[in-house]
Amino acid sequence: MYNEYKDRVEFLTVYIREAHADDGWRTKPNMDAGIVFNEPTTDAERTEVASVCQTALEIDMPMAIDSIDNDVEEKYISIPMRLFLVDPDGKLAYVGGEGPFGFKPEELDEAIKTMVGSLG
């Protein structure tokens, strides 16, 4: 989606709280892959983990990092993952369900097509 629309839509990934911190909810796939991070306690630590995540997952789109006080996560109820589309007037044009079951990129794709089509 990013590669298809990046010249017409501004994309941003927001890295929030570590979903599977080693000192929290550990997962076998993360352990098998050597992904072992404790929950960051400072903005600098969160930035470091986010950078590793962005590189490992080959995320090409720009990434912002929520502050350690989790302000963005709390305002947007974004944990564990959520998709949003903001229209040119700054209003939410699409709000996806809470992940993982509400994480539906195909719905976001349709919302983008509708918005881009209406802009001409």
- pLDDT of 19: 65
- pLDDT of 5: 93
- pLDDT of 80: 67
Domain that holds residue 113: 2-119
CA–CA dist 33, 59 (Å, integer): 18
- pLDDT of 60: 92
39-58 pLDDT, tens per residue?
A: 889 999 999 988 988 888 88
Return the closest-CA partner of residue 67 out of 95, 46, 90. 46
pTM above 0.85, yes or no: no
Q: Which CATH number covers residue 35?
A: 3.40.30.10
Integer angstrom CA distances of residue 104 from 44, 82, 95, 98: 31, 9, 10, 10
Q: In order along the chain (120 residues), what is the average pLDDT of each group of 10 residues? A: 93 81 66 74 92 86 93 80 91 89 93 88
Overall domain count for the chain: 1
